[in-house]
């Protein structure tokens, strides 16, 4: 009589499906826990604000209220409930007063009908998004400007940034770096819609922040070491480059009449539908460097572009550049398909970005005087308004 064989392996398809179910359940449980924590903290923040508004707001009242509440909550619920945490809850409610739509000020957690945001669903800034955890919102509370906070909120939800990724983008002043190249209307769209890529300049940043490489700003830094560090940290580098960049190759060889040339990094942009060639420089940018990237772009357009691809883009990443040399060498091509961006091996400050913008404005005026072109002056005026 045959015995039951309990060691028969499960079919691969069955295992795969069971694994999918359990992974989805784990993800949903984690998201539900995160959402519940966010709502609870928002409700606690609202109760604190209502209590403070009902009081006489005499000196020390708010501090005493939070200290007493923190002590009681700590005794019952343990670590995690401090005066600092309660201050976050209060700030959370004040910054997001419409996070949960309810006309009943006494609404409880159990009475709320929580909307679960679905992937690809339009983001509604200021309203509860189940894809954002309490740690996400705590990072957002660090952003004092409403327009910048809204931008980061949209981008974090849309791109499924982890809390750590959001923290880095805030720390690297992503909003300010993207805002540099936009006029006042473009700045408003950035603040209410997030990053929308319709032309090459929309996809590029200046400066590009590479603090994650942990490389010292040293004159002994060589391009091969910089390139290797970027490849070793490719995932973070792609996050810094922004949406749409897909890595293709490094040190891609071009051979013409027996001479070999090498393109440092090649990417494809899935939104703009074009190749992006990146040339790395560790010294000051020269007109010879600009001629080299022009050569690479022209070659790629003639030999590597396929049907459906848009014109190739060239980008030089360098620690320093002479804006006047760039403008006189590239001319109109600078606006069209060849770009230069500074890279920084440390996190920038708002003051540094404003200083760069003022420097660009100084370079634009002499170009108009020499060429007679009105186009740079118009761009200068737009940037000046955006800065104001």
Structure confidence at residue 102 (pLDDT): 58
Tell me the pLDDT band of 381, cut-offs 50, 70 and 90. very low
Q: Which of 74, 91, 192 is nearest to 134 (CA)?
A: 91
**Packing angle of the helix pair 61-77, 12-54 (nearest 10 deg):** 140
Rg of the chain taking only CA atoms, in angstroms: 26
CA 243 to chain centre: 8
Sign of CA dihedral 153, 143, 168, 387: positive
23-27, 118-122, 363-367: which has the highest mean pLDDT? 23-27
Other C-beta atoms closer than 10 Å to the C-beta of 255 total: 8
Query: CB–CB of 100/128 below 8 Å?
Result: yes
Q: Any idea where the domains of the chain sit in the sequence?
A: 31-99, 121-199, 204-348, 349-388
Q: Which of these CATH numbers, 1.10.730.10, 3.40.50.1100, 3.40.1350.10, 3.40.50.1480, describes 204-348? A: 3.40.1350.10
What is the SS3 assignment for 89?
helix
Could you report the per-residue pLDDT of 154-187, keeping only the tens digit for each? 999 999 899 999 999 999 999 988 887 777 778 7
Angstrom distances, CA of residue 267 to CA of 63, 280, 356: 54, 14, 27
Enumerate residues 6+ apart whose C-beta is below 8 A from 189. 182, 196
DSSP-assigned beta bridge partners for residue 247? 267
pTM beyond 0.85: the answer is no
Could you report the per-residue pLDDT of 227-286, keeping only the tens digit for each? 999 999 999 999 999 989 999 999 999 999 999 999 999 999 999 999 999 999 998 898
């Amino acid at each position: 009589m045959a015995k039951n064989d309990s060691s028969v392996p499960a079919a691969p398809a069955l295992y795969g499906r069971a694994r999918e179910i359990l992974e989805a359940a784990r993800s949903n449980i984690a998201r539900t826990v995160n959402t519940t924590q966010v709502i609870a903290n928002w409700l606690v923040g609202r109760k604190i604000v209502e209590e403070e508004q009902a009081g006489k707001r005499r000196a020390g009242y708010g501090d005493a209220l939070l200290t007493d509440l923190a002590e009681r909550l700590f005794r019952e619920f343990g670590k995690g409930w401090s005066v600092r945490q309660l201050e976050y809850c209060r700030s959370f409610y004040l910054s997001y007063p419409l996070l949960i739509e309810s006309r009943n000020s006494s609404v409880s957690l159990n009475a709320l009908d929580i909307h679960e945001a679905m992937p690809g669903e339009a983001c509604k800034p200021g309203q509860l998004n189940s894809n954002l955890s309490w740690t996400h919102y705590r990072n957002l509370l660090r952003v004092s400007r409403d327009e910048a906070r809204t931008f980061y909120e949209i981008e974090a939800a849309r791109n499924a940034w982890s809390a750590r990724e959001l923290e880095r983008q805030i720390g690297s002043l992503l909003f300010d770096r993207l805002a540099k190249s936009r006029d006042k209307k473009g700045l408003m769209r950035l603040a209410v819609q997030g990053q929308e890529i319709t032309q090459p300049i929309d996809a590029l940043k200046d400066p590009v922040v590479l603090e994650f490489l942990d490389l010292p700003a040293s004159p002994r830094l060589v391009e091969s070491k910089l390139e290797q560090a970027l490849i070793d940290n490719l995932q973070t580098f792609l996050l810094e480059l922004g949406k749409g960049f897909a890595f293709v190759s490094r040190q891609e060889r071009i051979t013409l009449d027996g001479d070999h040339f090498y393109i440092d990094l090649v990417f494809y942009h899935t939104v703009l539908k074009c190749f992006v060639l990146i040339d790395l420089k560790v010294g000051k940018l020269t007109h010879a460097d600009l001629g080299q990237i022009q050569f690479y772009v022209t070659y790629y357009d003639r030999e590597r572009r396929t049907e459906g691809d848009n014109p190739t883009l060239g980008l030089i990443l360098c620690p320093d550049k002479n804006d006047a040399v760039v403008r006189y060498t590239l001319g109109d091509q600078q606006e069209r398909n060849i770009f230069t961006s500074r890279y920084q091996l440390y996190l920038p400050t708002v003051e540094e970005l404003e200083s760069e913008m003022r420097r660009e404005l100084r370079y634009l005026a002499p170009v108009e005087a020499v060429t007679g072109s009105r186009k740079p002056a118009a761009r200068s005026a737009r940037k000046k308004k955006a800065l104001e």
